[in-house]
Amino acid sequence: MKTVLITGISTGIGRATAESFLEQGHLVIGAVREFHSVETLKSKYGSKLILWKCNFLNLTEIDSIHNLLSENKIMQIDILINNAGMALSAPFQHQDFSEVQNTITTNVLAVMKLTQVLISYLIPAKGRIINISSISGVGGTPFLAGYCASKHAVEGFSESLRRELNLYGIKVILIGPGSIQTPIWSKGFEAIRMRYQNSAYQESFDRFIEFASHEKAHALPPSVVVKDILHATFSESPKIRYSPVPRKFQNVFLPWILPRFVTDYMICRALGLRIKKY
């Protein structure tokens, strides 16, 4: 039996991952902002699921994990899955900078802080750290500057940490999904759609929303990501990075082989980001 700590288990990838480990009989420590979001999980799995209430926007709350582990007599952690995250889309020029700060805090600083706090618990188990990044961690999408920046940071952090923690036999693994059926995007889009209707970005942002809605139709179920997470957990030779991405040739290989100016042209043309005359 493994002891697995997963952040953000209320919905999407985190919830599906938690359920998968619980069904296999492992002990799961699940981080949530509010307990009511996982009441059904707790009632179903009982003592196999230990809930940890933590708001990752407040980095000092992360230190409370020590007390939780002590209370439950947990001396080591086998797997840390940094899944919790947020995404808010906007033209960066007009975006409230507090939204950018919250994105970086949740997606980057909280990941780094929690990982640092838990390394001493991972060392005895020669455990594994699985960081949920994104296809946005290896590219850049208009109107997602803050989110893309955060995922690029996760990629760089994971690369560095993988080499450092090799000293202890701890493996650091990246999962970089593409479009997944998860509420993270609908939470971000619908709340701000009308905010930029009178800006220079009105037409382009509307096109972006339409594009995102189209992508949702091709989104993969969370179970596809869970499959990669399980492989990263149990394989003797896990990959350094997994890419569960729909239409992989179009979304991964083509942007990789094309010159940047070509992809710039294609994206700007598709979104109507043409040079405007004033």
Closest CA to 203 of 139, 118, 142: 142
Catalytic site residue from 45, 121, 151, 171: 151
Nearest-angstrom CA–CA distance, 190 and 175: 26
Catalytic site residue from 147, 196, 201, 242: 147
Instruction: Identify whether the C-beta of residue 136 lies closer than 8 Å to the C-beta of residue 85.
Output: no
Nearest-angstrom CA–CA distance, 45 and 23: 9
Q: Is 151 a catalytic residue?
A: yes
CB atoms under 10 Å from CB of 30, counted, come to 28
Tokens of 60: 């000092």
Instruction: Identify whether the C-beta of residue 219 lies closer than 8 Å to the C-beta of residue 181.
Output: yes
Closest CA to 238 of 70, 79, 110: 79
- The dihedral built from the CA positions of residue 121, 127, 132 and 138, taken in this order, carries a sign that is positive
Tokens of 27: 């002990």
Nearest-angstrom CA–CA distance, 23 and 220: 22
Q: Is 147 a catalytic residue?
A: yes
Closest CA to 163 of 230, 231, 240: 240
| Residues known to be catalytic | 147, 151
